[in-house]
Every structure is written in structure tokens, then in C-alpha cells.
């Protein structure tokens, strides 16, 4: 037991040093690009796993490199307008605590998902949505995406842009989702008759995306 604790403490120390140096111990780079504040498109490889908060500084970031051999750079929300990696699109909010908002539905009224930061019994935990491994500030490793932190959740919001959005809650679920999915009237009716509820967001979004994909295939 003592050897395990020693190993974990040593690992935490190495992780802290890596973060302070702008490095990361777990990376998953994919082809992508971002737009800087002047609107220039920068293409390269992006690791979005860090689009949660840095464990030590509690600042949101992503990792970027121009190619496989290039130096890794940490990019925070105040440095860019948006980024795309794989099939996922993220846009930046400009509030007091800027975040990367994943665009789930890109219509006149958009649906966003933001990665959350939660507290666990052992300290702080980073919980981005995805499948990478991250080190918690408490002792131990957590599989990202597993519901291991008390109070951890995915926060949905809707609006015309990330600076004009409303958090999606039980009381405004029908209104918000009817707006974001207004291009699919039959689905809107199912939202209104409570076939779908806020506790079934994953299912609802999946159904919507499957309908859109099927329509594209039929064109």
C-alpha cells in the first residue's frame, strides 16, 4: 500500500512539473484547425482532451502542433475564436471565464455542450467528455467520461452564439430544444408531448443527428 501511495505521489509530482512546463502526459492529436483572433485559419493537429481545465491553474486549454514533429503549444480560449478537430466543432465564449463550447446543433438557434469541472472526495477532478485518461488532483487516475466525480455533469445551453445563450434546464427544456430542433417538426412534437425529457438528452441528440444523416444520404 505504501509503495502504491509513493508511486501515485511521484506520478502527481511529475504531472505537475509537466503542466507547469506546458506539457502533457497523455495526448491524442487529430487533424484539425483553429481561427485566431484576426480570423486567420491555422491548420495542424489538435488534442482537445484538455478543453476541460488545467488541474493546477484551472484554465481551459487545448494542445496544438503544426505537424507530428512540431513543438506542442497550449492554446487558451482568449487566444482564438474557434477550433475544429475531426468532426467536432468548438466555439469560444467571451464571458468572465471563457470556455470552449462544443457545437452539437449548428442552426439558427444552436445547441452547445460545455465540458465541466467537478469536485471529488479526493480533491479536484478534470472531466472532459471523451475517452482519454487524465490525472486527478486527488490521488489516482480516472477514465474521462466515467461518472466518478460527485456533481460532475455536462452542461447544455442554447442560443444564437456562445455569448448569447441560455443554460438548458428542466423548466426551459421544451422551449430550448424546440428552437434548436425546429427544422424537425415531428421531433419537436415528441419534445412537447414529453416523449423526450431533459434526462434523455443523449438519446434525443442521437436521434436528431441520425435523422439529419439519413436526410443527407437520401439527397
* Residue 114 is assigned to a structural domain of this protein: yes
* Residue 26 is assigned to a structural domain of this protein: yes
Which pLDDT band, with edges at 50, 70 and 90, does 95 fall under?
Answer: confident
* Residue 190 is assigned to a structural domain of this protein: no
Whether 12 has a pLDDT exceeding 50, the answer reads yes
* Residue 140 is assigned to a structural domain of this protein: yes
Q: Which grid coordinates belong to 170?
A: 428542466
Quick check: 110 and 161 in contact, CB under 8 A? yes
What per-residue confidence (pLDDT) applies to 8? 59
**Residue found by looking up cell 460545455 in the block:** 114
What per-residue confidence (pLDDT) applies to 113? 94
Q: Which domain holds residue 159?
A: 2-167
* Residue 30 is assigned to a structural domain of this protein: yes
Q: Which has more confidence, 168 or 21?
A: 168
First to last CA, the chain: 61
Q: State the total domains in the chain.
A: 1
In our burial notation (b when 16+ CB lie closer than 10 A, e otherwise), range 29-41 reads beebebbeeeeee
Q: Is the pTM of this model over 0.75?
A: no
* Residue 70 is assigned to a structural domain of this protein: yes
* Range of weakest confidence among 1-10, 67-76, 188-197: 1-10
Amino acid at each position: 500500500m505504501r509503495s502504491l501511495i509513493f508511486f501515485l505521489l511521484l506520478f502527481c509530482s511529475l504531472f505537475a512539473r509537466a503542466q507547469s512546463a506546458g506539457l502533457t502526459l497523455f495526448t491524442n492529436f487529430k487533424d484539425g484547425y483553429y481561427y485566431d483572433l484576426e480570423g486567420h485559419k491555422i491548420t495542424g493537429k489538435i488534442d482537445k482532451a484538455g478543453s476541460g481545465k488545467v488541474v493546477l491553474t484551472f484554465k481551459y486549454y487545448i494542445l496544438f502542433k503544426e505537424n507530428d514533429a512540431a513543438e506542442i503549444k497550449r492554446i487558451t480560449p482568449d487566444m482564438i475564436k474557434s477550433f475544429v478537430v475531426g468532426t467536432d466543432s468548438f466555439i469560444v465564449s467571451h464571458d468572465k471565464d471563457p470556455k470552449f463550447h462544443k457545437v452539437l446543433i449548428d442552426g439558427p438557434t444552436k445547441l452547445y455542450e460545455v465540458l465541466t469541472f467537478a469536485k471529488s472526495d479526493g480533491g479536484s477532478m478534470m472531466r472532459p467528455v471523451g475517452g482519454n485518461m487524465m490525472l486527478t488532483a486527488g490521488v489516482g487516475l480516472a477514465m474521462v467520461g466515467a461518472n466518478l466525480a460527485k456533481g460532475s455533469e455536462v452542461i447544455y445551453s442554447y442560443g444564437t452564439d456562445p455569448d448569447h445563450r441560455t443554460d438548458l434546464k428542466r423548466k426551459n427544456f421544451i422551449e430550448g430544444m424546440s428552437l434548436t430542433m425546429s427544422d424537425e417538426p415531428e421531433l419537436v412534437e415528441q419534445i412537447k408531448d414529453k416523449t423526450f425529457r431533459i434526462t434523455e438528452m443523449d438519446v434525443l441528440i442521437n436521434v436528431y443527428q441520425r435523422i439529419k444523416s439519413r436526410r443527407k444520404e437520401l439527397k
